[in-house]
Amino acid sequence: MIRIIGAGLAGCEAAYFLGTHGAEVELIDMKPLKFSPAHTSKDLCELVCSNSLKSDDVYGNACGLLKEEMRRLGSVTMAAAEESRVPAGGALAVDREKFSSLVTNALRSLKNVHIRAEEVTELPDEGIVATGPLTSDALSESIGKLFGGGLHFFDASAPIVAADSVDLSKTFTQDRYGRGTGDYLNCPLTKEEYELFVSELVSAERAQLHEFEKGEIFEGCMPVEVMAARGKDTLRFGTFKPVGLTLSDGTRPYAVLQLRKENGAGTSYNLVGCQTNLKFGEQKRVFSIIPALKNAEFLRYGVMHRNTYLQSPEILSADYSVKTQPMLFFAGQMTGVEGYVESAASGLLAGVHMWRKLGGKESVVPPQETVMGALSRYIATPNRDFQPMNANYGVLADGFGEIRDKKQKRRLLAERSLSAVEAWKKEIGL
Residue 214 pLDDT exceeds 60? no
Average model confidence (pLDDT) across the chain: 90
Residue 219 pLDDT exceeds 70? no
What's the pLDDT score for residue 34? Answer: 75
Q: How many CB atoms lie within 10 A of CB 36?
A: 18
CA distance 4 to 92: 27
Whether the CB-CB separation of 216 and 153 falls below 8 Å is answered with yes
pLDDT in tens, 158-187: 899 988 899 999 999 988 877 777 778 999
What's the pLDDT score for residue 152? Answer: 61
Q: How confident is the model at residue 402 (pLDDT cuts 50, 70, 90)?
A: confident
Q: Which residues of 206-232 are buried (b: 16+ CB within 10 A; e: fewer)?
A: eeeeeeebeeeebeebbbbbbbbeeee
CA distance 426 to 364: 11
Whether the CB-CB separation of 130 and 347 falls below 8 Å is answered with yes
- SS3 (DSSP) at 412: helix
End-to-end CA, the chain: 21
Q: How confident is the model at residue 141 (pLDDT cuts 50, 70, 90)?
A: confident
Q: How many Cα neighbours within 13 Å face the side chain of 401?
A: 0
Whole-model pTM: value is 0.79
pLDDT in tens, 303-346: 776 667 888 999 999 999 999 999 999 999 999 898 899 999 99
What's the pLDDT score for residue 176? Answer: 82
Residue 111 pLDDT exceeds 90? yes
CA distance 21 to 230: 51
Select 160-305's CATH number: 1.10.10, 2.40.30, 3.30.70, 3.20.170.
Answer: 2.40.30
- Residue 249 Cα distances to 172, 177, 246, 255, 388, angstroms: 12, 16, 8, 16, 43
Q: How confident is the model at residue 61 (pLDDT cuts 50, 70, 90)?
A: very high
pLDDT in tens, 282-291: 999 999 999 9
In the chain, where the domains are located: 2-150+310-428, 160-305
DSSP β-bridge partners for residue 27: 4, 115
The architecture of the domain spanning 2-150+310-428 is 3-Layer(bba) Sandwich (3.50)
What's the pLDDT score for residue 211? Answer: 53
